[in-house]
Amino acid sequence: MRDIVVDLRRWRDAGVSDIAIATILETKGSSLRPAGTRMAITSDGNVVGSVSSGCVDGEVIAEMEAVLSGSGAIRNPSYGISDEDAWSVGLSCGGAIDVLVERWDELYDVLLDEVEAQRSVAFASRTDRPQHLLHRDGGETLGTLGDADLDGQVLMDIAAAWPGPYVKQHTYPQGKVLIEVIPPPPVLLIFGATDIAISLAEIGRVTGFRVIVSDARRTFMQEERFPSAELRFGWPQDVFKSQDLGPSWAVVVLFHDPKFDIPALTLALKSQAFYVGLLGSRKTQADRCDDLMQAGLKEQDLARIHGPVGLNIGGRAPSMIALSIMSEIVAVMHRRDGGKLSQKKAS
C-alpha cells in the first residue's frame, strides 16, 4: 500500500471512486514481489503499482477491468510456471502468485488515512468474499468479515503477529482471509555523526527508513553533512527515553568511545528496538559488554547486540561499512541471516 499511497490519495481527492485493487495473496518459489503488494486501476485506465514487476501485470489488469465492468465482484486468479499459458504471460521466473482482485471498499479509505498518518494497522480481507476488517493499534476495530466468530479468530491472529510487518493468508472453517499488519515506517537511529554515519543515513533514506542522527559533539552535527536526516543534539540519555524507541526502530552505535557507547547501548537495550548494532572489534565488544553488565544489564540483554556490526561483505571504506550495516538491518527486519540466496531453500 505504501508504494501506491500517493497516487491513490490523488485519485480519491479528485473524486475517483471506480477503482479496482489487485493484491498478492500468496507467493510460491521465485516471486519478484511479496504477498501484500498491490496494484490499482481506475475505470479510465489509469494504473499504479505492479504485482509482478511486469511479467503478468497485463493479465491482472484484464481481471481488474472485468471487475470494474460489472462482470464480477471479486476474482482470484493464480499464475505460475506450471500453468499452460505461463510462458505466454511471461511468468518464466519459476514462481507462482495468487492474486485477489476486488472493487475499492470504503475501509480502503480508512486504511489510506491510517497509512498516511503512519500508524500501525492490521487489514484483514476475506478472500472468498469482498469483506474487510480494519484494526488500529489503539484497539479500535472497524468492519467485519461477515461472521463474528471469524472476526474474533482473525483478531487473535493479528495480536500474535503484531506489530509486524506481516502478510499471510489464513484458512479458517468460514473461509480464507488475508491478514496484513502494516507497521509505521521503520526508523534508523544513528548514534555518532561519523563518516560512516553520513553514508548510512543516505542508504537508510533510500531504503525507506526515517533517519535520525544524534551526537553530543557540535562539530559533527552539521546539516550539510546529513541533508536527509533529522538531527538530535545532545547525550543519548538526554535526547531520548527508552520508551521513545518502538519495535520498528533500528539503532546503530558508531561512537567507538565508551563514554558515549554505554549510555546509547543502555538506552537501546532497554527499548523495544528490533535491532541494536555496535561498531568495534571483538575486543571492543567484550569491553562494552563488561561495562554494561556492571551497569546492571543481563546476559539476555547483551545477546541483542549485533557486533561487530554489519554483514561480512569485505568492504572497508566508510560507504562499504555503511552498506554492510544496512544490509544486516534489513536482514534482521525480515528474519533472514543475510546468506546467499543460492544456498537457501525458497521460503
DSSP state of 220: G
Give the Cα separation of 245 and 189 in Å (integer): 9
Rounded to whole angstroms, how far apart are CA atoms 153 and 72? 28
C-alpha distance from residue 344 to each of 81, 188, 338, 339 (Å):
20, 28, 10, 8
Q: For residues 173 and 191, state if they share a domain.
A: no
Q: For residues 261 and 33, give the distance between their C-alpha atoms in angstroms, rounded to a whole number.
A: 38
Our measurement of the distance from residue 342's CA atom to the centroid of its chain's CA atoms, rounded to an integer in Å, reads 24
pLDDT confidence of residue 83 = 46
The verdict on residue 340 lying in a domain is no
Q: Which of 104, 119, 139 lies at the terminal end of a domain, its last residue?
A: 104
- CB proximity list for 162: less than 8 A, separation 6 or greater: 120, 122, 137, 181
Kindly state the helix (H) or strand (E) to which residue 241 belongs, with its residue range. none
342 lies in some domain: no
In sequence order, the 6+-apart residues with CB closer than 8 A to the CB of 257 are none
* Same domain membership, residue 310 and residue 216: yes
Total domains in the fold of the chain: 3
CA–CA separation, 22 and 58 (whole Å): 12
Same domain, 221 and 290: yes
CA distance 322 to 1: 28
Per the domain annotation, does 344 fall within a domain? no
Query: Is residue 322 in a domain?
Result: yes
Amino acid 132 reads H
CB 264 within 8 A of CB 191: yes
Q: What's the CA gap between 328 and 323, in Å, rounded? A: 9
Per the rule left: phi > 0, alpha: psi between -120 and 50, beta: everything else, 310 is: left
8 A C-beta contact, residue 28 and residue 95: yes
pLDDT of residue 336: 86
Sign of CA dihedral 236, 234, 194, 208: positive
255 in the same domain as 205? yes
Q: How far apart are CA 324 and CA 54, in angstroms?
A: 30
Instruction: Please check whether residues 91 and 32 belong to one and the same domain.
Output: yes
Identity of residue 345: K
| 338 within domain boundaries | no
Cell matching residue 124: 484483514
Structural domain includes residue 343: no
Q: Do 119 and 209 have their domain in common? A: no
Q: Are residues 167 and 279 in the same domain?
A: no
Give a yes or no: residue 64 inside a domain. Answer: yes
Residue 216, classed as helix, strand or coil, is: coil
Residue corresponding to grid cell 505492479: 50
- Looking at the fold, whether 68 and 174 belong to one and the same domain comes out as no
**Exposed/middle/buried for 287, CB within 10 Å: 0-12, 13-18, 19+?**
middle
Look at residues 104, 130, 159 and tell me which one is the last residue of a structural domain: 104
Residue 79's pLDDT is: 62
**Is 146 in the same domain as 218?**
no
**Residue-number span of the structural domain to which 171 is assigned:** 107-184
**329 in the same domain as 191:** yes
Asked which of 69, 104, 139 is the last residue of a domain, the reply is 104
Q: Is 166 in the same domain as 303? A: no
Instruction: Indicate the helix (H) or strand (E) that contains 116.
Output: helix 106-116
The tens place of each residue's pLDDT in the chain, 347 residues long, gives: 778 899 999 999 999 989 999 998 888 765 667 888 899 999 998 999 988 766 677 888 988 999 998 866 677 666 664 444 444 444 445 567 888 899 998 899 999 998 888 778 999 999 888 899 999 988 899 999 999 999 999 999 999 888 767 899 999 999 999 999 988 889 999 999 999 999 999 999 999 899 999 999 999 999 999 998 999 999 999 999 999 998 889 999 999 999 999 999 999 999 999 999 999 999 999 999 999 999 899 999 999 999 999 999 988 899 999 999 999 999 998 888 888 654 444 33
- Same domain, yes or no: 317 and 257: yes
The answer to whether residue 275 is domain-embedded is yes
The DSSP H or E segment spanning 334 is: none
